[in-house]
Protein backbone atom coordinates (compact mmCIF):
# COMPACT_ATOMS: atom_id res chain seq x y z
CA UNK A 1 0.00 0.00 0.00
CA UNK A 2 2.55 2.63 1.01
CA UNK A 3 5.41 1.25 -1.11
CA UNK A 4 4.22 3.09 -4.21
CA UNK A 5 2.35 5.94 -2.50
CA UNK A 6 3.78 9.22 -3.89
CA UNK A 7 2.51 11.25 -0.91
CA UNK A 8 4.34 9.02 1.57
CA UNK A 9 7.44 9.12 -0.59
CA UNK A 10 7.32 12.93 -0.61
CA UNK A 11 6.75 13.01 3.17
CA UNK A 12 9.72 10.69 3.66
CA UNK A 13 11.94 12.94 1.52
CA UNK A 14 10.79 16.06 3.38
CA UNK A 15 11.47 14.37 6.73
CA UNK A 16 14.98 13.50 5.54
CA UNK A 17 15.55 17.11 4.45
CA UNK A 18 14.34 18.35 7.86
CA UNK A 19 16.67 15.88 9.57
CA UNK A 20 19.58 17.12 7.47
CA UNK A 21 18.76 20.77 8.23
CA UNK A 22 18.62 20.00 11.95
CA UNK A 23 21.99 18.28 11.65
CA UNK A 24 23.46 21.40 10.03
CA UNK A 25 21.83 23.57 12.71
CA UNK A 26 23.42 21.46 15.42
CA UNK A 27 26.90 21.99 14.00
CA UNK A 28 26.28 25.71 13.50
CA UNK A 29 25.26 25.91 17.16
CA UNK A 30 28.50 24.16 18.17
CA UNK A 31 30.51 26.61 16.10
CA UNK A 32 28.60 29.52 17.63
CA UNK A 33 29.29 28.26 21.14
CA UNK A 34 32.99 27.90 20.31
CA UNK A 35 33.10 31.40 18.83
CA UNK A 36 31.39 32.76 21.95
CA UNK A 37 33.87 31.05 24.30
CA UNK A 38 37.03 31.89 22.31
CA UNK A 39 37.15 35.62 23.27
CA UNK A 40 36.98 34.69 26.97
CA UNK A 41 39.88 32.29 26.53
CA UNK A 42 41.90 34.97 24.74
CA UNK A 43 41.06 37.53 27.45
CA UNK A 44 42.27 35.11 30.11
CA UNK A 45 45.53 34.44 28.24
CA UNK A 46 46.10 38.17 27.65
CA UNK A 47 45.56 38.92 31.33
CA UNK A 48 47.69 36.10 32.74
CA UNK A 49 50.61 36.17 30.31
CA UNK A 50 50.75 39.86 29.32
CA UNK A 51 48.93 42.24 31.64
CA UNK A 52 49.96 40.70 34.97
CA UNK A 53 53.69 40.56 34.15
CA UNK A 54 53.61 44.11 32.78
CA UNK A 55 51.76 45.32 35.89
CA UNK A 56 54.48 43.85 38.07
CA UNK A 57 57.18 45.42 35.88
CA UNK A 58 58.40 42.17 34.33
CA UNK A 59 58.66 43.11 30.66
CA UNK A 60 60.93 40.14 29.88
CA UNK A 61 58.22 37.67 30.85
CA UNK A 62 55.55 39.50 28.81
CA UNK A 63 57.49 40.02 25.59
CA UNK A 64 57.17 36.62 23.91
CA UNK A 65 53.51 35.99 24.89
CA UNK A 66 52.59 39.45 23.60
CA UNK A 67 53.93 38.69 20.14
CA UNK A 68 52.55 35.13 20.03
CA UNK A 69 49.08 36.09 21.24
CA UNK A 70 49.07 39.07 18.89
CA UNK A 71 49.75 36.81 15.90
CA UNK A 72 47.25 34.22 17.13
CA UNK A 73 44.53 36.82 17.52
CA UNK A 74 45.17 38.10 14.00
CA UNK A 75 44.29 34.65 12.67
CA UNK A 76 41.29 33.80 14.86
CA UNK A 77 39.32 36.95 14.21
CA UNK A 78 40.55 39.42 16.78
CA UNK A 79 42.26 41.54 14.14
CA UNK A 80 42.17 44.79 16.09
CA UNK A 81 43.37 43.22 19.35
CA UNK A 82 46.05 41.33 17.41
CA UNK A 83 47.36 44.56 15.88
CA UNK A 84 47.29 46.29 19.27
CA UNK A 85 49.25 43.43 20.87
CA UNK A 86 51.87 43.54 18.12
CA UNK A 87 52.26 47.29 18.71
CA UNK A 88 52.51 46.55 22.46
CA UNK A 89 55.25 44.01 21.68
CA UNK A 90 57.19 46.68 19.76
CA UNK A 91 56.90 49.02 22.75
CA UNK A 92 58.02 46.28 25.18
CA UNK A 93 61.02 45.50 22.96
CA UNK A 94 61.93 49.18 22.67
CA UNK A 95 61.72 49.56 26.45
CA UNK A 96 63.93 46.53 27.06
CA UNK A 97 66.57 47.76 24.62
CA UNK A 98 66.46 51.36 25.92
CA UNK A 99 66.90 50.21 29.52
CA UNK A 100 69.99 48.19 28.70
CA UNK A 101 68.20 44.89 28.49
CA UNK A 102 67.99 42.60 25.56
CA UNK A 103 64.98 41.54 23.55
CA UNK A 104 64.18 37.85 23.83
CA UNK A 105 63.07 37.65 20.21
CA UNK A 106 64.98 40.04 17.98
The mean per-residue pLDDT over the stretch 80-101 comes to: 90
The mean per-residue pLDDT over the stretch 23-52 comes to: 91
pLDDT tens for 47-60 read: 999 999 999 988 88
Per-residue pLDDT for 9 more than 80?
yes
Predicted confidence band of residue 83 (pLDDT cuts 50, 70, 90): very high
The answer to whether 91 and 99 are in contact (CB under 8 A) is no
Confidence (pLDDT) at 103:
66
Buried b (16+ CB within 10 A) or exposed e, 31-53: eeeeeeeeeeebeeebeebbeeb
Nearest to 104 by CA among 67, 49, 57: 67
- What are the distances in angstroms from CA 79 to CA 29, 66, 76, 82, 85? 23, 14, 8, 5, 10
Measured between alpha carbons, how far apart are the two ends of the chain, in Å? 78
Amino acid sequence: MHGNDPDLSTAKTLALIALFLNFIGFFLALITIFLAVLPFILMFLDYVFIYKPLSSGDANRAEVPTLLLGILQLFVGGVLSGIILIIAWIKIRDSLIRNGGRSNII
